[in-house]
Amino acid sequence: MSNKSIAIGSDHAGFELKGDIIVHLIEKGFEITDCGPDSADSVDYPDFAHEVAKSVEASSADLGILICGSGNGVCMTANSHSGIIAGLAWEPEIASLARQHNNANIICVPARFVSPEKGIEIVDAFLDAAFEGGRHERRVNKIKA
């Protein structure tokens, strides 16, 4: 699971969990690009979601992690990018399936609905999984308009 580069960003609601995840991933050997914010002051989540999505689209990061209060805002923002498939996960199994069946390249975590431990489990499950291809590839190819 290590040696991958990860772009990560959040809003103010996800700031603390973002820090916990960064520490965890650095300990596991990942290269991290922190796209912000730099504090828990109120911010606009699209500013940071766009930065993570651009990093993944440009292949300067292998995968992305986004965190906001519900996970919805950052997920919707990331999915507005043509090269992104972002999935919202509040359980590790959902995160795994986002990679295995949907080839997600960004996972979105709802900070207000998961503990720090659960947030880390979600991220680990996402990063440990791989796209299965096969019947799923046909479906994934139909996602973008």
Domain boundaries defined on the chain: 5-140
Quote the pLDDT of residue 144. Answer: 80
Q: Which of 35, 68, 75, 108 is catalytic?
A: 68
The verdict on pTM exceeding 0.75 is yes
68 is known as an active-site residue: yes
Structure tokens at 4: 């991958």
Residue 75 annotated as catalytic:
no
Catalytic residue among 24, 50, 101, 136: 101
pLDDT number for residue 1: 46
Check residue 133 and give its pLDDT. Answer: 87
* Residue 101, φ and ψ in degrees, nearest 5: -105, -25
What radius of gyration do the chain's Cα atoms show? 14
The low-confidence residues of the chain, meaning pLDDT below 70, are 1-3
**Structure-block tokens of residue 25:** 């991933």
Contacts of 4 (CB under 8 A, 6+ apart): 30, 31, 62, 63, 127
Q: Please tell me the predicted confidence (pLDDT) of residue 145.
A: 78
CA distances from 143 to 24, 81, 90, 116 (A): 32, 12, 22, 31
**Residue holding tokens 């960004």?**
106
CA distance 40 to 42: 6
The predicted structure's pLDDT at residue 2: 52
Considering the segment(s) 5-140 as one domain, its CATH architecture is 3-Layer(aba) Sandwich (3.40)
